[in-house]
Amino acid sequence: MSSEPEVLFENLAPAGYITLNRPKALNALTHDMCLAIKAQLDAWRDDDEIERVVIRAAGDRAFCAGGDIRTLYESGKAGTSYALDFYRDEYILNATIKHYPKPYIAMVRGIVMGGGVGVSVHGNYRVADESTLFAMPETGIGLFPDVGGSYFLPRMPGEIGLYLALTGARLKTEDCVYAGVATHFVPAAKWGELGDLLLETFEDVTPLAELFAGLPDPVTRTLPSLVEHREKIDAHFAADSVEAILDALDADASDWARETAKTIRAKSPIATKLAFRQIREGKNLNFDDCMRMEFRMVSRVVAGRDFYEGVRAAIIDKDQSPKWQPSRLEDVSDKDIDAYFAPLGDRELKL
């Protein structure tokens, strides 16, 4: 077992640096990491030497691939409190970042999913290089796009946020910028220059927009572009239910529509309907109310079945054949979904 700290902190005034330090685990977040980052942010908030905070990650493969799903699975199966403790403190950390009074800059390279999105997308600046790969694939493991997904996804252009929530589609760098996941593109070769810039004293980091302009050459793109499919996304995903979205996709003879419908149908029916309701509700909620809503939802997910079946199929047994219950969207009623959003009484998330 490694004796290396899971997360590193450096005071390089005027910048404070956070480094996620589990590269072999794709820098997946643990409960202790969430608590440590929150405590350090609180300390730097009141430190006049620190003008901005920069979060980055060790290794080249991933900024952060999400939460430590295997540990959450084991906690839930054993009936321990770890899973809910993790989600509670992760969501509190997300809110701390969203409301942080100093510039917060995320240096995002490689995989950024789930919990990695939560510790980056709510900051002021998200800098991506050409290796960045974003996704919120939670419905594929019986979960929903949490860590503030109910806030930032419906605020993406058009219906892109709902499309990403229901499909788990992966975005490369240029689409990350287009959707607002990243605020800037900086080629990896220039990250040294950027590091020097972030150690200078200035009012804000807006000079990034002028110093590092542009996107990767489109010929390097191997995943579908949001721009290419934007018209269809906005038309089909504006429907008022998951079933209506699938009907619209089925009526579209394109390969893209057929594959999109197939992808949605492979996800957990409960999680898919949860994600739909979550995105629609979140559009009209402030950030903190979104996080409170998500904690209500995840409390019921942890007490349910599909999350454990999804993790089993994807990570434990790796057979990629989850047996969802119910197995069909039409067997998930509005009343079933309402129960996930019900108040928790004295167990509500306190921000």
pLDDT in tens, 281-305: 999 999 999 999 999 999 999 999 9
pLDDT at 9 over 80: yes
Q: Domain for residue 157, yes or no?
A: yes
Residue 186 pLDDT level (bands cut at 50, 70, 90): confident
Residues annotated as part of the active site = 67, 115, 138, 146
The per-residue pLDDT for 200 is 76
- Compute the radius of gyration of the chain from its Cα atoms: 20
Does 1 map to a domain? no
Distance CA 127, CA 124 (A): 10
Measure the CA–CA gap between 12 and 14, rounded to whole angstroms: 6
What would the two tokens of residue 276 be? Answer: 């739909």
Q: Which amino acid is at 78?
A: A
Domain that holds residue 221: 7-347
According to DSSP, residue 345 is labeled: G
Answer whether residue 277 is part of any domain: yes
In a domain, 317, yes or no: yes
CATH code, domain with 302: 3.90.226.10
Q: Is residue 2 part of a domain?
A: no
Rounded CA-CA distance 27/45 in Å is 24
Confidence at 192, pLDDT banded by 50, 70, 90: confident
| pLDDT at residue 348, rounded to an integer | 98
The per-residue pLDDT for 205 is 54
Contact, 14 vs 51, CB < 8 A? yes
Whole-angstrom distance, CA of residue 135 vs CA of residue 181? 10
Nearest Cα residue to 103 out of 47, 50, 40: 50
User: Does residue 97 sit within a domain?
Assistant: yes
Closest of 198, 194, 199, 188 to residue 211, by C-alpha: 194
Confidence of residue 207 (pLDDT cuts 50, 70, 90): low
Greater model confidence, 39 or 187: 39
Q: Read off the pLDDT band of 184 (50, 70, 90).
A: confident
Into how many domains does the chain fold? 1
Tell whether 189 is covered by a domain. Answer: yes
Domain membership of residue 69 (yes or no) is yes
